[in-house]
């Protein structure tokens, strides 16, 4: 079982800075991303990495993948997440919508650690479209 350690550093000049296990920095508010935005961003990032990898293995002419994540949270503290809706837009030449859907499902069911972790805690939905390049 792998263990990865991330770090946070706060100081008056830098405010809050997160570092992944490789040392890559992500700035947090007030000069960067809000902590709560990191959750839907992580889900979109994890899933999109899988989808791109799967579609490339199928030798599809994928030119761009856009993913938005609309997150619904409670209005009062602690602002619990209730739902995240992912919208996938695959841009390329002749991208089969069914192959895109299958890649999304494979990500959710087999590869995306963030999805698997969150699926029992909140509702995750998605839709998708293909656009010709």
Q: What is the pLDDT of residue 31?
A: 87
Domain locations in the chain as residue ranges:
1-33, 35-132
Q: List, in order, residues 6 or more apart from 36 with CB less than 8 Å away.
A: 71, 73, 79, 81
**Which pLDDT value is given to residue 23?**
96
Tell me the three state secondary structure of residue 80.
coil
What would be the CATH architecture of the domain defined by 35-132? 2-Layer Sandwich (3.30)
One pLDDT digit (tens) per residue for the chain, 133 residues: 999 999 999 988 878 999 999 999 999 988 899 999 999 999 999 999 999 999 999 999 999 999 999 999 999 999 999 999 999 999 999 999 999 999 999 999 999 999 999 999 999 999 999 999 9
Query: Which H or E run contains 82?
Result: strand 81-93
pTM of the model: 0.93
């Amino acid at each position: 079982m792998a263990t990865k350690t991330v770090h946070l550093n706060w100081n008056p000049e830098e405010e809050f800075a997160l570092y992944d296990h490789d040392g890559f920095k992500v700035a947090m508010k007030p000069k960067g991303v809000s902590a709560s935005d990191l959750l839907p961003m992580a889900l979109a990032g994890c899933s999109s990495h899988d989808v791109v990898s799967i579609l490339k293995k199928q030798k599809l002419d994928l030119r761009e993948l856009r993913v938005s994540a609309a997150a619904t949270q409670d209005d009062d503290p602690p602002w619990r997440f209730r739902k995240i809706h992912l919208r996938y837009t695959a841009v390329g030449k002749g991208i089969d919508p069914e192959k895109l859907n299958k890649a999304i499902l494979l990500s959710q069911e087999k590869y995306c650690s963030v999805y698997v972790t969150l699926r029992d805690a909140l509702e995750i939905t998605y839709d998708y479209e293909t656009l010709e390049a």
